[in-house]
Amino acid sequence: MVLLNLKNVSFRYDANWVLRDLSCDVAQGEFLGIIGPNGSGKTTLLRICSGILVPGRGMVALEGRDIRNIPRKALARTMAFVAQDSPELFHFKVNECVLMGRAPHLGRLQFEKERDFAITRQAMEATGTLLLASRNLADLSGGEKKRVHIARALAQEPEILFLDESTAYLDMKHATAIFDLLKALNRDQGLTVIIVTHDINTAALYCDRLLMMHQGSIFAEGRPEEIITEANIREVYETRVTIDRNPENGLPRISLLPQSLSDPRKPVKAGAAPQL
């Protein structure tokens, strides 16, 4: 079943169109990865899908309904968004921050009930933040803060979870734990997960389908083994790679080649900077 539908979506910042006539569907229960180089429109697309940004043209529909016509609080009961750099809530403790995820479920002037506190605790247990519950956010590392904001999103009990660079600042142990948790929620509870990531190898491991963005448009979409090819990476990222298969699961695995794109036989001089 199509849960989220984008039809002919375009968006611009001032006079600069960063998304152009983009259409795609997201199925209920899908784990979708959005990949692409810097400036390709990944984060803008994610923010439009979640209703944070309004497209200049086209429409985003949630279960057939234009999300512009859905009240913000009702939308927050359906969708949760974890930004790459979440707002700093320096004066709050971890448990207070995670409890904020219950706000969309509370009525006007209504206080949290036992169920809200139980769900908050479950979210902290799942993200490994329960031991941080009484600490101030200002005292946490970047990785710890990231896990707290993911816990707050899970406390919303959303149907769709959007994450922009969800494992930024996390070490390998905690990054793997977060992705394992997201996959388990996706598989066992039907949570729809949409992530933006620069880690293509991790996207190949966890995502059912990938959208590869290039210059504000969808360059390719499909299963990881269909999208992650040397030709696609060379065209979109302007980078030479080799791709083999992960011996554990047969999924594509990228290794970078350090040679210059323009002449792979020419060594890169020490101190030479790439053109950005």
270 pairs with which residues across the strands? none
- CATH class given for the domain over 2-223: alpha beta
Span 45-66, pLDDT tens digits: 999 999 999 999 999 999 999 9
- In percent, the amount of the chain with pLDDT more than 70 equals 92
Q: Parse the chain into domains and list their residue ranges.
A: 2-223
The pLDDT value recorded for residue 242 is 94
Answering whether pTM is above 0.75, one says yes
Q: Which residue has the higher pLDDT, 15 or 47?
A: 47
CA distances from 111 to 49, 71, 122 (A): 30, 21, 19
Two structure tokens written together for 259: 């040679």
pLDDT at 274 over 60: no
Measuring CA to CA, which residue among 198, 176, 159 is closest to residue 62? Answer: 159
The mean pLDDT value of the chain amounts to: 91
Amino acid at the residue 111? F
